[in-house]
Structure 1
Amino acid sequence: MGGNGNKVTKRSLNACTRCRRQKIKCSGSQPCDSCNKRKLTCVFDDRDQKILITRGYLDELQQKIARLSQNDHGEAGTISPEYHEERSPDSKDNIDSAEITRLSPEEKENAELHQELEDPASGLTNPLSTGPPAFMSAENGRTFYLGTSSNWSFTRRVLSLTHDHIYQEPLPTGALAFDGAIYDLGWDGLRGNHRSEIPTVPSFDHAMYLINSVKFRCGQLYHLFDETEFMAGLHEFYSQPKPTPTTGLWYIHFLFMLAFGKGFVQHKMQGNKPPGSEFFVKALQLLPDLSVLHQEPIESTEILCCVALYLQALDYRSSAHNYIGSAMRMAMAEGMHTQMPVEYLGEHLVQRCRKIWWTVYILDREMTSLMGLPQSLSDEHINTLLPSFTGSLQRTAGINMHIKLSRIIAEISGKSPAVYAIDGRLNRNFLIRTKSALASIAKLADELHTAFPLHLDQSTSGVSRISAYLNLLYHQCIVTATRPLLFCFLKIRLESPEHCLEALTTSKNVRNLIQMCLDSAQQMIYILHCLQSEDLLETFLPFDLDSVFVSTTVLLMAPAIDLRWSYPAWLEKAYAIFEEIIENGNLIAKYRRSELQLLDELLSYFPQEHTRCLSAPISIPAATLNTDQTSVQLANFPSSVAHTLSHDLLSDPGVSLEDELSLTTGLTAAQIMAVADSIESIDTEWMSNAMVEHSIW
């Protein structure tokens, strides 16, 4: 048969930059046929031309470098032995630019070639942590830094990106809430104005009720006071015919406990004044300067933890971060991060210091991540032991799990190598670092599910509040590690809608990572829904609110990228959770919900074929969530969630996703590792090309 039907066209050895990034055939002409057809500038970069060399040549080059590194006589071209010791294991085959400059011209050329071959995706960058630092100004003119791993900052970035695309102008910030702007403490912060009246302290029974509320709500998560010493002071205080204020630290500590207690039990709001603020402000006014607090460092560190946690609950994130930083330094100055000698200090003091230290450590890790800042303390400097609790091994296990999750948070947000790198230059490690973070998460999966099961599908026993909190934090780790991919694809969707779904189908591994992010978001909403049904939602401390805010954000973004990722039923449940938190007097939840409503509205402007199923938030009364019909739906939900995940999620045929996945347990360690292990160099190269093509920098 004649004609050109059977003619095989030979691929050009020289392709233009655009064709290489698009992974399409290039004619090799100048300009090429593809660029000429689209009337685009056609650029050929000789540096991108692939050159084949033998493995033996690379080995010979490495041997030359090794010989140079052994030369310690200070000759030209010598590589410092100290430098070799500092290099990370991941870079053992890479050649640093500083090393290249020390080589001879011939060796320099070979080394540059080796570096280019070993790092094919050197332009890959996390769009949330690169380029000039992102800032946003409030209506009053104050400018705020948008930290890379911050939940608050992430939603603001998505809002800004979407608003700018639709309206071609910056996002107005007048209706947005910024750090410390929601609640009014009624104090200008000046110590000279502390002559206000001492707030009336409650009766002894009422005080006991408030303190017990504090113990129930956060006693298993954090150490805020030493019960033996604090309760002795309480009984002494109320033993007087008329309890009167004192000048010691105990009384200040007592006022902070009353402030927390009021926050947990008082739901009626008085304008924008937070519950318990009269006790909190008076305690701050009486609190000595840090130079004086160091004279009583043990109780002072506990007090600083109280201040940080209460401020965090009021959305004073920056102030909270500063106070927990002071607590960290005070604790370290006392050696609490070390193995304090029991024979010298006594068992009780050592146990108290261990409880204090790990509370400071956990709060510092979490608050730093929520600020989107790099972690300041390396774990290699810590060797203190876990505290022990008489008759309660579960509390020690809970602290241990909390510490492990906090370390994963640090690994994701700022501990090198991190998903959210401070310089943004992630090279080919963007997905590799995500893979590493997921591997760390997978190590905890089975231990968490075994030691702290949720039993959400059992009607005979209630939900454990500590188990719920740890599982929520676990899923937040997954979402935080994987949501940069959602941001990437949202920008691709805005820049080139016709190529978005095509891009998603190019790499099933990247698509599965996004699906894992969405699955964890649903898991969080399901856990919070079960807590809501048992009246166990935490409406004062910020952690349940953070969980529903994080999960709702990604579930709103997903269908804008791919309509198949639409979860209207779970968005309805999320808004019902918001509604209950708001009804319990939390003003922050009201602002967070309004931001999500704005995002929902902006995303609804997308073309019809990409519109989402839920165009506006729907609030479901709490009563309707406890109906028999809802129970039946939830009982059948695990299999439906398993069905929504792609069948190619797991590469291991021995692991059955349909059999093992449920909302009561989440993905197993084997399933998470299967997804992480599926990430290959081809995925990082493809992701790099997609990000360069759409200017995601």
Structure 2
Amino acid sequence: MAGNGPRVTKRSLNAYIDELHQKIASLQQNGERIDPSPLSPDYAEDRSPDLKHDSPQLSRSSVHDHEESHQLHQEIEDPASGLTNPLSTGPPAFMSADNGRTFYLGTSSNWSFARRVLSLTHEHIYQEALPTGALIFDGATYDLGWDGLRRSHSTAEPPAVPTYDHAMYLINVVKFRCGQLYHLFDESEFMANLQEFYSEPKPNATTGLWYVHFLLILAFGKGFVKHKVQGNRPPGADYFVKALEMLPDVIVLHEAPIESTEVMCCIALYLQALDCRSSAHNYIGQAMRMAMAEGMHTQMPIEYLGENMVQRCRKIWWTVYILDREMTSLMGLPQTLNDDQINTLLPTFPGSMQRTAAIGMHIRLSRIIAEINGSVYAIDGRINRNFLLRTKSALANIASLADELRRAFPLQMDREISGVSRISAYLHLLYHQCIVLATRPLLFCFLKIRFESPENCIEVLNTSRTVRNLIQMSMDSAQQIICILHSLQTEGLLETFLSFDLESIFVSTVVLLMGPAIDTRWTYPIWLEKAYTIFEEIIESGNLLAKFRRSELHLLDELLSCFPQEHPRCLSAPVSFPNNVLNNNSQVSLASSFPPSGQAQPTASTAQAQLEHDILSDPGVGVGVGVPALDDQELGFTSRLTAEQIMAVADSIESIDTEWMSNAMIEHSIW
């Protein structure tokens, strides 16, 4: 993803800085006093208040000279404005599917990141663009069997609804799977309408907004319990399509804005599970605007509106808010709502303060995601030398939650005492995704450096201990994600319909595949094996998207294994794998997911010994497998990263690191 700008060499950069110094010296010789403190690396802390100009009144000429000299100092501090995030730099990136439709690759999107890494690797090895036939695009995984046209209530044939007992079962499944994280319906009102619907047939029982809402909840229930799919039609599709066909126009929806917002949230979440990211993002945007039009983002007066309505609106608002933040991040797009404009309170749950605390933590993590998207992944990437400093700020925000998250929502990995809490696991997964999101641009940088100059990459990487520790932190969080998901898998709590567990395992596996390509000491075969077993369970549960994601990772694995051998081997499988992945009934063996490479692999006895050791029995053991022990001056990590450890890495990022990183990126044309 290199830009089209001229290549600036280290030599020309140094010459440019020398020229600036000469200009400043010339200005000083002419009698103009220049504050030297900006040249000090400790400028922000040590700037003296009495460094003032000798004359209280300056001529226009001297003012101009002073402004010019200040500008020169600024240019020295940000040499050539060269430090950029390569994932958000230069012209916007697009990719076309086989059907001719073009898709925007959002800067912070997990999907986009994997595509950029895959494209970069393929282009380096084969000197040609990655064929789009090897990729799956937004909305192409499932087929709803719907032409998108609305039907009138008189012509729309209602689907066969389940019996009352079956409906109650499906609703309770939805409450268990979604209710701890999101508010999708008001239980008292919804269940009252359910009782009325099943009590006695009525002429208009299948025409109201509640019936549309009911069909959506049934669609979710089917998605959670039905593990076999026919072709590429998703479970619950009949209910979902009928709900969309009968959904009133937005003009009518505004007549019942409270329930309509809940309906929009249901539609968005279901579409997200089908990998229809753009459509889901649009529906949650409609929900956001509908909620704001009702003032849900404000402190709604209880004395005027009543306790029940205000509590319901708070639950709706924060569900919309969280989904909007997370879906926008998954799209890689800018956030549209400023947090300063929100002053509503958290909802309360009688007898369960933990649920309120969980919503609060979920909100704070969603805000950190938004902050990372808006800073580390700034527009055009041209954030000067602030790239690492923005990363430092993001890590500081993440660290502020570390100890509180561990204390309030313990994972309790020791299965002999108790099981893993689903809500705690989800919050910890989101927390580690924040770390990966903030640090993975460095992985992309060094993968490109590795391709550009394989003989110098390790030397360059070892030059900055801080940058190496940041990449190690990304690796450790990726391992911890797999560790948490493996624990959920053991408890039977792995989420196989909603996309969030799949997103977590996809994010972590991409990072761990990139590690050995940058430095062979970052090799984690055991963790990758655990990752692929998690993929297998999600696939066996009927998730077609997981098949495509796993196949994409297999391709990336094979491509990366071709490097850095002197004579790369040919791929053992055709590049156009997704075209036939749904029709391939043969099970891919776990061993085939690790193509042979020129790197040294563990012996059979060593691998077996590692497999026999249960990493979850001691989360501090096994993290960083293959990485040499750090000495006392280096920052080592375990899977239980504390706030102090994260802050130690963040605080180690200094100006010298930004200068070093800037030179490395200029030298290798990473912008």
TM-score by length of 1: 0.83
Secondary structure at the counterpart of residue 81 of structure 2: coil
**Equivalent residue letter for 1:692:** I
Structure 2 equivalent of residue 558 of structure 1: 515
Partner Cα distance (2:523, 2:633) in 1? 25
Structure 1 equivalent of residue 622 of structure 2: 640
1:313 pairs with 2:273 = yes
Name which of structure 1's ranges 285-294 and 343-352 shifts more when overlaid on structure 2: 285-294
Partner Cα distance (2:439, 2:467) in 1? 10
1:672 pairs with 2:641 = no
Distance 1:398 1:681, change over 3 A: same
1:325 pairs with 2:293 = no
Structure 1 equivalent of residue 576 of structure 2: none
1:443-462 map, 5 Å = 443-462=400-419
Structure 2 equivalent of residue 94 of structure 1: none
Structure 2 equivalent of residue 298 of structure 1: 258
**Equivalent residue letter for 1:674:** A
Partner Cα distance (2:162, 2:196) in 1? 15
1:547 pairs with 2:504 = yes
**Equivalent residue letter for 1:639:** V
User: How far off is 1:291 after superposition?
Assistant: 1.4
Distance 1:361 1:638, change over 3 A: same
Distance 1:106 1:644, change over 3 A: same
Partner Cα distance (1:501, 1:462) in 2? 42
Secondary structure at the counterpart of residue 202 of structure 1: coil
Partner Cα distance (2:287, 2:265) in 1? 7
Partner Cα distance (2:421, 2:22) in 1? 58
CA displacement 1:310-369 (0-9 Å, x = unmatched) = 000000000000000010011011110000000000000000000000000000000000
Structure 2 equivalent of residue 394 of structure 1: 354
% same residue: 70
Name which of structure 1's ranges 601-610 and 451-460 shifts more when overlaid on structure 2: 601-610
Partner Cα distance (1:19, 1:273) in 2? 56
**Equivalent residue letter for 2:213:** H
User: How far off is 1:604 after superposition?
Assistant: 1.3
CA displacement 1:466-493 (0-9 Å, x = unmatched) = 0010000000000010000000000001
Structure 2 equivalent of residue 128 of structure 1: 87
User: How far off is 1:107 after superposition?
Assistant: 2.8
Secondary structure at the counterpart of residue 103 of structure 2: strand
CA displacement 1:541-594 (0-9 Å, x = unmatched) = 000000000000010011000000000111111011001100000000000001
Partner Cα distance (2:89, 2:323) in 1? 27
Secondary structure at the counterpart of residue 191 of structure 1: coil
**Equivalent residue letter for 2:417:** T
Residue 607 of structure 1 is aligned with which of 543, 561, 564? 564
CA displacement 1:157-203 (0-9 Å, x = unmatched) = 00110111111111101131100001001111111588342110000
User: How far off is 1:245 after superposition?
Assistant: 3.9
Secondary structure at the counterpart of residue 312 of structure 2: helix
Name which of structure 1's ranges 667-676 and 168-177 shifts more when overlaid on structure 2: 168-177
Contact 1:438–1:676 (Cα < 8 Å) also in 2: yes
**Equivalent residue letter for 1:344:** Y
Contact 2:466–2:649 (Cα < 8 Å) also in 1: yes
1:254-653 map, 5 Å = 254-414=214-374, 418-608=375-565, 619=590, 630=612, 632-636=614-618, 638-641=620-623
Contact 1:560–1:611 (Cα < 8 Å) also in 2: no
1:47 pairs with 2:12 = no
Partner Cα distance (1:674, 1:148) in 2? 28
User: How far off is 1:398 after superposition?
Assistant: 0.5
Of structures 1 and 2, the one scoring higher in RCO (CA 8 A, sep 6+) is 2
CA displacement 1:90-120 (0-9 Å, x = unmatched) = xxxxxxxxxxxx9954234212222223334
Contiguous gaps of at least 5 residues in structure 2: 1-6, 39-46, 574-587, 593-608
Name which of structure 1's ranges 105-114 and 392-401 shifts more when overlaid on structure 2: 105-114
CA displacement 1:604-657 (0-9 Å, x = unmatched) = 111339999xx9986389xxxxx99746454255233267666559869xxx95
Partner Cα distance (2:9, 2:33) in 1? 33
Distance 1:50 1:220, change over 3 A: farther
Secondary structure at the counterpart of residue 640 of structure 1: coil
TM-score by length of 2: 0.86
Partner Cα distance (1:252, 1:362) in 2? 23
Contact 1:177–1:591 (Cα < 8 Å) also in 2: yes
- Number of residue pairs aligned between Structure 1 and Structure 2: 617
Structure 2 equivalent of residue 33 of structure 1: none
1:686 pairs with 2:655 = no
**Equivalent residue letter for 1:282:** K
Secondary structure at the counterpart of residue 260 of structure 2: helix
Partner Cα distance (2:567, 2:394) in 1? 32
Contact 1:650–1:674 (Cα < 8 Å) also in 2: no
Distance 1:523 1:343, change over 3 A: same
Secondary structure at the counterpart of residue 423 of structure 1: helix
Residue 157 of structure 1 is aligned with which of 93, 106, 116? 116
1:58 pairs with 2:58 = no
